Amino acid sequence: MKSDHRHELKTNELADWLANFPQWMEQNRTNLIAAAAVVVVAILVYFGIYYRGSVVSVRNQQRLTRLVSQVPEQMNTVMRSAMQGTDQSYTLMPISQDLQDFAAGVSNDDMAALALIKRGETLRAELHLRLADVPREDLTAQIAKAQASYQQALDRKPSSPTLAAAARFGLGLCEEELGNFDKAAEIYRDVAQKPEYAGTAAQAAAEYRVKIMDDFKTQVAFKPAPAQPQAATPTIQIPGAAGSPTVIQSPGTPVIGPELPPADAPATPPVVGDANKPAGG
């Protein structure tokens, strides 16, 4: 009986609430409309941000891919021009600026770090691909820009160990190109020993640079080529007349020796008889 009574009471309450619902809606219409508007706006904002973020991320990835691929392509173009005696190393500078602009405008730390690392590589490559000698002040100024780019990549704290190791290795290369071999070796050893960089290409490269660094501390001097021995001039032996010495003559020079009869002269008949007997006797 008690359960039936409770069920009857709940049914009456529901019936009363449904009967009064239109009146409650009328009394709270303004509040309900405002709440519904807030919910709709929140849904629109959420999907708008999500959609916009996805689209922007895809566009940034596409743009970064184009910029990164331009670096080796342009390097190959510069090297082909150099083989023909034309210096086009300056064409790498606009690409380095585009990479810097991209890094400054993107919120993704990994994308920014990759762009900054590639900018550092481009700045260093431009110096190596110049046909003319690079003045010391130009070298110092441009390497300083590359160092700043690698350091900015580290400051973005990329989540990828590969990017962090590449940025540290780039700083080592900059020190080495400035002639600071001890500082470069210190950076290389740090990259080679860090466990978080294990398996990265930069760690393997750093280990290799430490091994061969001593080869770059001194200038290479080539000894002069040894003198080539003079080739012996071939000679021709020309037998002389009876009682005359044999003449030794080099090819291409006139023959010096007893005069030979012309080719069309009649042959001298041999003398017949006793060679010791006077003629006519």
99 neighbors 119 (Cβ within 8 angstroms): yes
pLDDT score for 224: 61
Look at residue 73 and tell me whether its pLDDT is greater than 70.
yes
Mean per-residue pLDDT, 237-263: 50
Chain centre to alpha carbon of residue 71: 8
Cα-Cα end-to-end distance for the chain: 190
Mean per-residue pLDDT, 27-36: 71
pLDDT band with cut points at 50, 70 and 90 for residue 121: very high
172 neighbors 184 (Cβ within 8 angstroms): yes
For 177-200, give the DSSP string.
HTT-HHHHHHHHHHHHH-GGGTT-
Mean per-residue pLDDT, 185-191: 95
Look at residue 4 and tell me whether its pLDDT is greater than 60.
no
- Alpha carbon distance 203, 209 (integer Å): 10
Residues of the chain with pLDDT > 70, as a percent, come to: 61
Look at residue 132 and tell me whether its pLDDT is greater than 70.
yes
Q: Out of 10-24, 55-69, 115-129, 256-270, pick the least confident.
A: 256-270
Q: Out of 35-39, 49-53, 61-65, pick the least confident.
A: 49-53
- Alpha carbon distance 97, 93 (integer Å): 6
- Alpha carbon distance 15, 22 (integer Å): 13
pTM value is 0.62
Look at residue 66 and tell me whether its pLDDT is greater than 50.
yes
User: Which residues, in sequence order, are CB contacts of 238 under 8 Å at separation 6+?
Assistant: 246, 247, 248, 249, 255, 257
Residues 137-183 have pLDDT tens digits of: 999 999 999 999 999 999 999 999 999 999 999 999 999 999 999 99
Mean per-residue pLDDT, 198-218: 87
pLDDT band with cut points at 50, 70 and 90 for residue 275: very low
- CA-to-CA separations, 197 to 147, 188, 212, 223, 224, in angstroms, rounded: 20, 12, 21, 43, 46
CB atoms within 10 A of CB 56: 13
pLDDT score for 37: 74
Q: Which residue is it, tokens 């009471």?
A: 9
pLDDT band with cut points at 50, 70 and 90 for residue 77: very high
Residue 246 or residue 25, greater confidence? 25
pLDDT score for 157: 95
pLDDT score for 255: 47
Mean per-residue pLDDT, 99-119: 95
Number of helices and strands in the chain (H, E): 8, 2
